[in-house]
Amino acid sequence: MKKILVIGSINIDLVTNVKKTPRVGETVFGKEFLEFPGGKGANQAAAIGKLGGDVTMLGCVGTDAHGQFMVDSLKQSNVKVDWVNKSSLNHTGTALIMVNENGDNSIVVIPGTNFEVLPERITKDIIKGFDIVIGQLEVPEETLSKAFKIAKDLGIMTLLNPAPAKQLSSELLESVSLLVPNETELEVLTGLTVNTNDDILRAYQELKKYGTEQLIVTLGSQGSALVTQNGIQTFKAQKVKALDTTAAGDSFIGGLVTQLAMEKTIEEAIQYATKVAAITITRMGAQSSLPNKEEVT
C-alpha cells in the first residue's frame, strides 16, 4: 500500500446544536455543548487511518490539554504522529461550530498553532518517504507550496483540498496533481460562477492553465463530478438523512485517497468515497463521525 502524508490543521471542535443559524445581530439558544477532535488535516488523516490507509500527520498542537487530546485521538485512528510538533507559543487550533436542525453548519476557525506549520518544517527527506501528499488551507500556503513543489519534482502525487476558500498562487497550483474543491471553493479559485456541468468544465479549463491534471468537485447532495482532459463524469450521492455535515468533505477525501493508495481507479475511488461521506453525515462531530472500513463495506 502507498504511504500517505497529510500536511494540515489539527483543531479541537467546540460544537453546539441550534434550531436555526442566527442572522447578524441575532441571539439563539444552543441545545448542548460538545467537544470533538477536528481540523481539516486531522480529519482527513483520521479518515484514512480508520479506513486502513498507511497515513502520517504533519502538523502542530499546543502544550495545552486540547493538544494532547488531539494527538491521542489521531493515534486511536491509526494515524502516525511522527511529524506532529507541540508548541508553547500558542493554543491548539480551535473551531467554533453551530449545527442547525437541517444538519448544515457554520464554522469559525481560530488557527492557533496551525499557523506554526511553517515552510522550514518541510524537507526533501520527509517528503521522499511518501507516495501521496495531501494539503488543505488551514496552514500557511507557503508551507504547502514548498511541500508540493518537492513532491512534484520527486514524481509524488499531490492532492489539494482548497478549503477554506481563497484565491491561490500559481506556484501552488502548478504543483497540484488532483484538486478537490466544493462548488463554492471552485468559484473563489477561478472567479467563475459554477451552477452547471458546463460551468465546471470552464473552471477546469481555467485551472488547467496552471497544470492541474484532474479535478473532483464535491456537490453535496448532488454528488460529485470528475473532470479530466477526457471530459466530465458525474457521480450520484447516497441518499441518507443528514444529521451533521461537518467533515463530509474530509471523509470523502479520506475514502478517495485510501482507494487510490490501493491502486483503485479514480472512478472506483470516488464511488467508495461517496459511501464514506454518506455515513459521516448521519453522525455528529468530525472525527467522531468517521466510519471504519468494515462499516463502509
Please tell me the number of Cα atoms within 13 Å of 19 on its side-chain side. Answer: 4
Whether residue 198 lies in the annotated active site:
no
Burial label, 63 (beta-carbon count in 10 A; 0-12, 13-18, 19+): middle
Contact 84, 109 (CB under 8 A): no
13, 54, 244, 250: which is the annotated catalytic residue?
Answer: 250
Burial label, 285 (beta-carbon count in 10 A; 0-12, 13-18, 19+): buried
Residues marked active site are found at 250
